[in-house]
Amino acid sequence: MHDVPMGEILKKLRELNAERVLIQTPEGLKSEAQVLADFLEENGIYAIISGDVNYGACDPADTEAKRLGCDALIHLGHSYMALHLEIPTIFVPAFAKVDVVPAIEQNIDEIKKLGRRIALVTTTQHIHQLERARAFLEGNGFEVLIGKGDSRVSWPGQVLGCNFSTAKVDADGVLFIGAGYFHPTGVAMTVKKPTLAVNPYSGDAVWMDREAERLIRKRWAQIAKAIDAQRFGVITSTKKGQLRLSEAKRMVKLLREHGKYAKLIAMNHVNYFALEGFDFDAYVVVACPRVPVDDYESWRKPVLTPREVEILLGLHNEYEFDEIVGVERGTDEPLGLSLKGPVT
């Protein structure tokens, strides 16, 4: 369970004079969303819960909230991403209660294999403990670098599944703190340095380099599968933080210049099931970069990233992960909920 600061949310909504709100939640916070909706209604605010699956701050439901006549959107589970929002939006990041230091202490000998100068990164869930982790590591003789990153992230040291800008510092290796392989494989594929993932829940430490190599080999296999493809569907997403229209148009142009048939496709939730029936030999996803990397097994046609298309066309021979990059980041977000969007 995560703590949702219901009192703070209510206070912000009262400041906005909000009478009706939409609550958007990731899979893991559905029960908290429901408790929050009950709480707001007890306090005189009409609350609607979005039933759509949400994977990230790249997909705020501000347009839907406006259409539903809401005065504000509450976006649970993620920190703010620099996007043009149509309605006041309260981002409520979820911070885990687990202490990260015991898992670091338990794996200190393994961490030493990274070298003395290490980059330290984590996800939103553990970002509030990053300075504690740094202090502990420095006390054990490490030089710890926490990258500032670009505008797609809210805090130094934060990584997203599509952005590892904070890991790109002059370090010997990267220490990732968090659960699962999703983020640290992306780190290892992007920075191409030794990457160790320490899980604060289980206490396990896993080297991600081999997993990254395995994934990259699979990506080369996808490129090989598309070698005879003539007809390409180039997909971008209408989700605000995944809409990469100029890059998608560049892909269409590039493919056509190389004698291929290419069509631009726009869709909200990018998935193969919805594309069944179209006449394409292969697809290029210019939206969330994790779709081709993590979901390709559910696609019956080869599915590539823009960089992989360039490799296919002989323009590059070195593999690069397809990141969505931001611009230079301004000041750090406060740790905790933040109100963004037009406030009148």
Chain contacts with ligand SF4 (rule: CB under 6 A):
55-56, 58, 160-162, 241-242, 288, 290, 324
Compare residues 12 and 290 and give the one whose CB is closer to ligand SF4.
290
> Least Å distance between CB 317 and ligand SF4?
26
The burial of 236, by beta-carbon neighbours within 10 Å (0-12 exposed, 13-18 middle, 19 or more buried), is given as: buried
Q: How far apart are CA 252 and CA 257, in angstroms?
A: 9
**Bridging pattern class, strands 89-93 and 338-340:** antiparallel
Compare residues 227 and 327 and give the one whose CB is closer to ligand SF4.
327
> Least Å distance between CB 58 and ligand SF4?
3
> Least Å distance between CB 243 and ligand SF4?
10
H/E segment holding residue 263: strand 261-267
> Least Å distance between CB 162 and ligand SF4?
3
Which of helix, strand or coil describes residue 216? Answer: helix
> Least Å distance between CB 191 and ligand SF4?
16
Q: How far apart are CA 77 and CA 57, in angstroms?
A: 8
> What is the side-by-side order of every strand in the sheet holding 46-49?
46-49, 20-24, 72-77, 89-93, 338-340
Compare residues 137 and 288 and give the one whose CB is closer to ligand SF4.
288
Q: How far apart are CA 271 and CA 239, in angstroms?
A: 13
> Least Å distance between CB 92 and ligand SF4?
16
Nearest residue to 129 (alpha-carbon basis) of 178, 189, 77: 178
Compare residues 45 and 167 and give the one whose CB is closer to ligand SF4.
167
Compare residues 58 and 100 and give the one whose CB is closer to ligand SF4.
58
Compare residues 55 and 95 and give the one whose CB is closer to ligand SF4.
55
Please give the angle made by the CA atoms of 291, 152 and 146, to the nearest 5 degrees: 110
